[in-house]
Amino acid sequence: MLVLGRAQVEALLDLDALIDALASAMTDLSAGRAAAPDRVAVRVPERDGFLAAMPGHVPSAEMLMTKLVSVFPHNGGTPLPTHQALIVAFDPHTGEPAALLDGTAITAARTAAGSALSARLLARDDASVLALLGTGAQARSHAAAMCRVRPIRQIRVAGRDRAKAAALADLLSAELQVPAAAFAGYAEALDGADIAAATTHAVDPVVRRSWLSPGVHVTSVGFNPDGREIDDATIAEALVCVESRQAALAPFPAGSNDLLLPLRAGLITEAHVHAELGELLTGRKAGRTSPDQITLYKSVGVAVQDAAAAALVVAAAREQSAGTEIRLA
């Protein structure tokens, strides 16, 4: 069995290839050619955390896998990331365990690549101002991914900790060669933004309709069982797209409070979820209809994304003779 650590996964995973691979995986999922059952989880209430299992199968990528991912939000103030994961890949023909990969890097990359794919499909072609809400690993990966699909000329960073926002802005300016600056709050960062990427563990919404400019594309990947990132008014007005209707509207630990809470309150119906990414990609559903329309991609993360990323990493590792082979029996 091939074993790959985090640094190896990061070196092997090409972001441009991943965005394209996710397009294929999302198309397969919407067409019923790939499988990603709703994730299951056990909660660790004393740490406000949980451990989830996410199996997935993408035949076109020849990938059968499962991810184990822990979400411990209090790690945000420690050297440990809030999300940590392992991925086990199996031979899709025999079921034999084939590879063990660090899943933390894959989770960050595939989540950001999914948001970038949504921007490719829904953001205005001239979108150039990116607002990052949050200062963790997902904010950093989202900045890199968004710069691949739109001509980003300015990055605005906002978070609970202004010092962390400033540090991330400095890092992004150096890494991406794009001017980046920290802003005092979420409202200030969102004012005039063309793309807004919410990557928080917020309890109360960090994206509010009154803070948004016409034509903005919002991506929301944050997850908190007890909170939400997007307010009701934004949900109600925006063109809402998801990876999977089934996953997005499922109960904890699969679904999104951003959609479930206004749904339960009667503010929207299930039909308000306009499209899955796979439906936009095949033209079954239309995307943006006007320059001033607000569009929203609400991500909950589905295992076919992890499968697509793992397939790229394993293939690159085999080609480059990377990683360590171990025997389990």
DSSP string, 256-304: -HHHHHHHHTTSS-GGGEEEEHHHHHHTSS----STT--EEEE----HH
Which tokens in the block code for residue 9? 């996964």
CATH 3.30.1780.10 residue ranges of the chain are: 2-106+304-325
Residues of the chain with CATH 3.40.50.720: 113-301
CA distance 237 to 295: 9
Q: pTM of this prediction? A: 0.96
For 113-301, CATH number out of 2.40.30.40, 3.50.40.10, 3.40.50.720, 3.40.50.80 equals 3.40.50.720
Q: What is the pLDDT along the chain (329 residues), one digit of tens a residue?
A: 999 999 999 999 999 999 999 999 999 999 999 999 999 999 999 998 999 999 999 999 999 999 999 999 888 767 888 889 999 999 999 999 999 999 999 999 999 999 999 999 999 999 999 999 999 999 999 999 999 999 999 999 999 999 999 999 999 999 999 999 999 999 999 999 999 999 999 999 999 999 999 999 999 999 888 899 999 999 999 999 999 999 999 998 899 999 999 999 999 999 999 999 999 999 999 999 999 999 999 999 999 999 999 999 999 999 999 999 999 87
Q: Which of 174, 15, 175 is nearest to 109 (CA)?
A: 15
Superfamily of structural domain 2-106+304-325 = ornithine cyclodeaminase, domain 1 (3.30.1780.10)
Between CA 156 and CA 52 the distance in angstroms is 32
